[in-house]
Amino acid sequence: MRRILGSAIMLGMGVAGNVQAQTAPITPSRTIYIQAGHVIDRPGQPARGATTIVVRDGKVAELRDGFAAPDGDASVIDLKDRYVLPGLIDMHVHLWGIGGDPLRSRLGELNRDESDDLIEAEKNARVTLEAGFTTVRDLGGNPRGIRALRDGIEGGAVAGPTIVNAGQMVSVTGGHGDGSNGLAEDYAETAHAHQINTCDGPDDCRRAVRAQISLGAQVIKFAATGGVLSNVAGGLGRQMTPEEMKAIVDTAHGFGRKVAAHSHAREGTEAALEAGVDSIEHGTFLEESTIRLFKQRNAWLVPTMMAPVAALAQARGGQLPPATISKAEAAGAVAAASHKRAIAAGVRIAFGTDTGVSRHGDNAQEFALMVRAGMTPAGAIRAATIDAADLLGRKDQLGSLEPGKFADIIAVTGDPLVDVTRLEQVDFVMRHGVAVKIGGARQAFPPN
């Protein structure tokens, strides 16, 4: 009996860890007619004028010219004076725990545990969704907790964006993702004993990737270089060997997972690109040789322009440990110029913010920084819709308003193609056909 029970438990753990919950998501069965004044249905192409978006069973059924009268018992949402576009996608967030307030986060470490962080993550997910981000890629958090939040959202238990989760970042011992850095010896030994994301050598790094996948990771993230916020004075240089990076990428790709590399220094970025990584996160120090590799490898840059701005302000304000200050200064001094160079050269850009460093819900402030770095408003919006969906491998489901795709829809006042900061004030949000914000007001969830 014990053997049978143990097998059942292991089977249940496998299901929970590797696939989304099978509970049917909340999608209204009735038809919804969204009457929109202007529609940016396929970002990067000319916008439509007056249009009716027909939503059925959580997906876009059709787009009709003009304001079509509803059929039968279909309901109507009036957005005739709004600009309507696909739900936004943020390719780099950290929903877990307290975000954008490092001092509060550090002070709470002694009296807060994972259960408290899950509540914070649920709040962060709702705020992110209401800001117009209907899909996010979570690149670092408690692996079981994020998997549970992901599945809870898909099952309709809580409101939030679609989550593509990485679990914990894979890191070498002592590297940017080693949670024992800076701890007293007794605490460091205990922390390190429970870490499965740290690895040393190619074989161990293969194990670390498999461990995250076993906990439900849909994408793998690793630290190619040092990082600003880790409490270790190791700079921002390359921390992983090329052989370790290659082992991570090949193992993840073998499991059908894409790979994101946290990277600041040029040496780390170029080694990660040579290893076949799908995206570089941050890309702070870019040279002409780095840009050539991006284009040769057809890889994506997720510049997270908000992150160095926020981290530098926090470091100078005394909200971060002393070891982070020089790193924040170094990153803040060169990031904007590197990103501007990459954009001018035609490197593929996907929208990402590293929110969690900055406050949740402020994600759309990234758009203005992207435009300042040389992107057009249309290009920046495309980076947060069609291009982000492409990097996710979900272009058939997300990123544009076309029949058969999920009805992830937002609306703003004013034309974001003229003033991209309009996206900082989203007053209508629908995810998978369920309206969670109308006229700036939060809607009941689950819906009646």
Q: What is the pLDDT of residue 97?
A: 75
Number of structural domains (the chain) is 2
pLDDT digits 0-9 by tens, 149-162: 999 999 999 999 99
pLDDT digits 0-9 by tens, 38-48: 999 999 999 99
Last residue of a domain, one of 392, 411, 428: 392
Whether residues 94 and 144 share a domain: the answer is yes
Residue 72 is which amino acid?
G
Q: What is the pLDDT of residue 19?
A: 40
Residue 15's pLDDT band (cuts 50, 70, 90): very low
Is the model's pLDDT at 3 over the cut of 90?
A: no
- In the chain the first and final C-alpha atoms are separated, in Å, by 44
Whether residues 60 and 120 share a domain: the answer is no
Instruction: List strand residue ranges (DSSP E) for 339-433, in order.
Output: 348-349, 409-412, 428-431
The parent domain of residue 118 ranges over: 88-392
pLDDT digits 0-9 by tens, 402-428: 999 999 999 999 999 999 999 999 999
Which CATH number do you get for residue 47?
Answer: 2.30.40.10
Is the model's pLDDT at 5 over the cut of 90?
A: no
> pTM for the whole thing?
0.89
Please tell me which residue, 1 or 147, carries the higher pLDDT value. Answer: 147
Whether residues 143 and 45 share a domain: the answer is no
Q: What is the pLDDT of residue 101?
A: 57
Q: What is the pLDDT of residue 105?
A: 55
Which CATH number do you get for residue 294?
Answer: 3.20.20.140
Residue 24 is which amino acid?
A
Question: In which element (H, E) is residue 420 found?
Answer: none
Please tell me which residue, 274 or 317, carries the higher pLDDT value. Answer: 274
Work out the percent of the chain whose per-residue pLDDT is above 90: 71
- What is the rounded average pLDDT of the residues 71-90? 96
- Domain membership of residue 25 (yes or no) is no
**Per-residue b or e along 310-326, where b marks 16 or more CB atoms closer than 10 Å to that residue's CB:** bbbebbeeebbbebbbe
- Domain membership of residue 1 (yes or no) is no
Whether residues 418 and 369 share a domain: the answer is no
Using left for φ > 0, alpha for ψ between -120 and 50, and beta otherwise, residue 304 falls in left
Name which of 99, 161, 32 is nearest 359 in CA terms.
Answer: 99
Whether residues 189 and 171 share a domain: the answer is yes
